[in-house]
Amino acid sequence: MEAPDLDYIRKQFPALQDGYVFFDNAGGSQTLKHCAEKISDYLLHTNVQLGASYTVSALSGRRVASAKQQLAGWINASDPVEVAPGPSTTQLLQNLARSFVKTLKPGDEVIVTNCDHEANIGPWMNLREKGITVKIWKINRDDLRLHTDDLERLMTGKTRLVAFTHVSNILGTIHPVKEITAFVHERGALVCIDGVAFAPHRQVDVQDLDVDFYVFSFYKVFGPHYSILYAKREHLEKLPGINHYFIGEEDLPYKLQPGNVNFELTWALTGVPDYFNELYSAHFGENEKPAFQKNSAVFDLLSAHEEKLAGGLLNFLAGNPKVEIIGEGRADRSVRVPTISFVHKNIKSSDIPVKVDPHGIGIRYGDFYARRLIEYLGLGPKGGVVRVSMVHYNTPEEVSRLCRIFSELL
């Protein structure tokens, strides 16, 4: 199959049926019908507390356990206890930092970037209150990439953690996580990766990447507003708990989940693996391949389509001398995802989306909680960037429609 069946794909998303064009997907994708139905089914039929002996509680427990198993398979975790669902990437990283700081001593060092979403900066910056030194790894101004040469100058024998993003939610650039992780490990530190802007577009393989901590939000991967944190078991076992005092250190990952998981949303997340399994069958036929291999084939198909979408918009923007693309100018899927930001030399970013709104197309402007990056690039006075973020259910016709509107506005 050379191209995804967009008619089939778009039918799985009820919000796409009225013709509105969603190009703010990096802020939150549309939700699969599968997921919404699972929320409803859970609440209407198994909405009880887990852990009791009666039948419905046992069924509810099996559903949540099955979800954790499927989520572990989705990212190729070696054990379901390595996956901790939670309300948001921001909250999960706050939880992790609250626990991780208890393993540190004053003078220890943590490194963050200036190109991450604040979710993977702020919690680590707060550790300074405990006497932890926090250093900033800045992206290179010339190519807007993270370079290990710059990181090496920051790392010392006291560096305990390096936190960075897999893909910038402004630039769309894919950072070489596997290589950076190996570099950090060779120097005796751990890594914490924000995968929010990567996960909707590519398969996450935590074992291949060898990351220590990895987090992303499923409401940007076609599911409900819920997220997951991956933590290697060897680290999870050593992390102090932040749950009730009687929750044992051996209760993995519950000790990092105060308030427990949301049962219906955890169950609903399984709608995403279900969807990818159905996509595989629809495009490649039925076979007995493991789910992770099927997902790999589907992501390859979808990312090729996304590359074409990105190419259409990037080529148009590059042809306008008044427009500056912020980030990688190539659509090449090996170096970027279809999250595309730009500024106009004569028009504030805040003035552009409101003129697109009447045409039934949703785009956005701002700093997208990557304020440190926007300030570093000097784009605050412009109102930040205009961002067009696409996913696989978008179409070439939608891109052409946006370009026609831009041709009149920019």
| Distances from the Cα of 247 to the Cα of 84, 103, 252, 254, 357, angstroms | 15, 18, 10, 8, 50
Residue segments in the chain with a per-residue pLDDT below the cut of 70: 1
Nearby residues of 307 by Cβ (< 8 Å), 6 or more positions away: 331, 332, 333, 338
Tell me, what's the pLDDT at 287?
A: 81
Tell me, what's the pLDDT at 1?
A: 55
Tell me, what's the pLDDT at 2?
A: 75
Tell me, what's the pLDDT at 34?
A: 94
**Where do the domains of the chain lie, and which CATH numbers do they carry?**
6-33+290-409 (3.90.1150.10), 36-272 (3.40.640.10)
Tell me, what's the pLDDT at 23?
A: 98
Q: Within 10 A of 270 (CB to CB), how many other CB atoms are there?
A: 21
- 0.95 surpassed by pTM: yes
How much is the mean pLDDT over the chain? 97
Q: In this structure, what are the phi and psi dihedrals at residue 85, rounded to the nearest 5 degrees?
A: -70, 155
Residue 179 in tokens: 């290589």
